[in-house]
Amino acid sequence: MDQKKMGPYRLEATIGSGGMGTVYRGIDERTGDKAAIKVLPSNMSHNEGLRERFQREIETLLQLKHPNIVRLFGFGEEDGELFYAMELVDGRSLAEVIVKTPIKSWRTVVKYSLAIAAGLRQAHDMGIVHRDIKPANVLITRDDKVKILDFGIARLFGATGVTMAGGIVGTADYMAPEQAFGEGVTPKADLYSLGALMYAMLARQPPFRGNTVTEILDKLRYNEPVPIDRLVETLPNDLSQLITQLLDKNPENRVPTARALCRRLEALLELPEETDFDLNLADHSTKKPSAPEDEYQLKDGGGDEAPTLDPQARKLAEAPTMQLTGDGGSHEPQAKSQDGGTEAPATIVSQRAKKPESQTRFTTVAEQRQRTSEEESRREKSSAWINYIQIGGLLVALGVVVAVMMIAPKKPTADQVYQSIEDGANEGDLAEISDEMDDFLERFPEDPRSENVAQLKEELNLRRQENRYRLAAAFGGVNQGLHPVEQIYLDAMKTNELDPQGARNKLQGLILAYGPSGSQQGDIARCLVLAERRLKQLNSALASKSKQQTVSIRERLQYADEIASDDPIKAERIYRGVIQLLEGESWGTNLLNDAQMRLNNLKSR
């Protein structure tokens, strides 16, 4: 029996499956290259709205090129089934790592998280939100590299109303509150999910657990997760605080961007190695301790309630008290309880040796002075040595700082960064200097050239938004996620080729109704800027076109005048043709009246 094929790929074996499709290992029969082939469920493949959005979304995702993102090679359809081919990664999912080989070092968790944040940073810069960051969508390769799977696929399904098991798109355990309750998704939703993923890598459980999706969503809305430093010991405070901030229910309180998160994670990796300890899950003997401040303290001895301590600490706390002898001799025998156990006395008893009889000691003034002098001399020498040590320490520290400054790579100056930006702008590739522009604006906001850099950055944002509109217009359909301003702009773009005059009228109306661009913000402001530019281009093109047509039509009218005496029928046909051509054309009103007058004169002869 022939093996199943998807496009040029021959499917060899099933790698995995889930609610969003089945993944196969495939071979490209043209080149022999291996790939992972994800085939969407048949019920989704037959959804017409999904098929259209699938093609549009994959076209966008093909632009993602980052070492921490699984590359998409292409997409297609085979016998009515939609599929896409992606990079085949040799490794395990992070979910499998957490379950089978739990991570022992917080530093490893930070390294993995930094790699994920770096991938998210590039995607967010391109306007792409993952929407389903979870352990199953992160791969760890055999050489310990990190790869993110399924970029944008949750958005793809979410845009069509298709739901997964449980009635929500995405994974409730790692989903941001605003995403779970339909309040709009921004890049900060991915940052929440990454915070939940960091929590799971450390605590081996997500922030909220429940038996049903409804129970998890209820906790997600109303509860706060147990602080990670109460579940996992030996964590740096900065790491605990970062995870708490990422899991804040209010997106405004989270880390602002993936770029900023990368910097925070890099700073954690710079902590000294003496902070590295194996991760230990704290042992909570009671689910509800009496009070947070008493959680690790012994209860009063008279109570029946067992102290909230791990078994080893409890054993140490309940060890019998010993009587200590003052002469260093053997211990007194311990009292025995009726059941043969050791009975612990209530207090520690110390039996001291009798004080010896007083002995007369006499010190002369000279001896006292000698002692005082010797003591002062010792203090001075000691103080001198302390000063020498302090000075030596400062010199060593200064030497280390100088060495680090000489060895460590120096950040480029404002002039160097600006020169790089200027060169890139002259070459016309603003996307290549996006990081340099961000660096300049962040480090040198007071530099007078920062205004020029900000304008270039905004121009890059405009180009990216224009590319998204072109893709949407090329593939047709209406994007339900667009603002009405953006939808009108797309309609004008689609109308332009067949009816440039109609496109111009739509753009004029759009700018009059919603403009000017300076009165709006964000994507709407950029859309109006693009509309103003496109209207200017159309006006120029139509003016040039009307000028050319005016010259040509005047030549035809002059020719008709010349042949009117010898061939009036042909001349009349030319006049009528010109009139018909210019009907409804505002720029040709004068020519139309001229042609009508000449036709009337011809008829009156």
Q: 């002369």: which residue's tokens? A: 364
How many C-beta neighbours within 10 Å does residue 58 have? 18
Sheet holding 21-28, edge to edge: 5-6, 9-18, 21-28, 34-39, 81-86, 72-78
Q: How far apart, in whole angstroms, are the C-alpha atoms of residue 196 and residue 68? A: 19
146 burial (CB, 10 Å; 0-12 / 13-18 / 19+) is: buried
Q: How far apart, in whole angstroms, are the C-alpha atoms of residue 106 and residue 233? A: 10
Q: 């009635």: which residue's tokens? A: 167
- Record the tokens describing residue 75, joined without a space: 């997409």
Identify whether the C-beta of residue 123 lies closer than 8 Å to the C-beta of residue 131: no
Q: How far apart, in whole angstroms, are the C-alpha atoms of residue 71 and residue 68? A: 9
Task: Assign 3-state DSSP to the chain and report helix, strand, coil percentages, each to 5.
Answer: 55, 10, 35
DSSP 462-526: HHHHHHHHHHHHHH-S--TTS-HHHHHHHHHHHHHTT-HHHHHHHHHHHHHHH--GGGS-HHHHH
Residue type, 197: L
Identify whether the C-beta of residue 206 lies closer than 8 Å to the C-beta of residue 214: no
Identify whether the C-beta of residue 190 lies closer than 8 Å to the C-beta of residue 150: no
- The H or E element containing residue 16 is strand 9-18
Instruction: Tell me if residue 581 falls in helix, strand or coil.
Output: helix
**Residue 18 pairs with which residues in a beta bridge?**
21
Q: How far apart, in whole angstroms, are the C-alpha atoms of residue 448 and residue 497? A: 42
- DSSP state for residue 297 in the 8-state scheme: S
- The H or E element containing residue 75 is strand 72-78
DSSP 195-247: HHHHHHHHHSS-SS--SSHHHHHHHHHH--PPPHHHHEES--HHHHHHHHHHT
- The H or E element containing residue 438 is helix 434-443
CA nearest 83: which of 58, 56, 47? 58
Q: How far apart, in whole angstroms, are the C-alpha atoms of residue 104 and residue 541? A: 66
**Residue 172 pairs with which residues in a beta bridge?**
none
- Record the tokens describing residue 47, joined without a space: 């959804």
Question: Which residues have C-beta within 8 Å of that of residue 163, sequence separation ≥ 6?
Answer: 157, 169
What separation in angstroms does the CA of 53 have from each of 42, 133, 156, 226, 494? 16, 21, 7, 39, 18
477 burial (CB, 10 Å; 0-12 / 13-18 / 19+) is: middle
Active-site residue list: 132
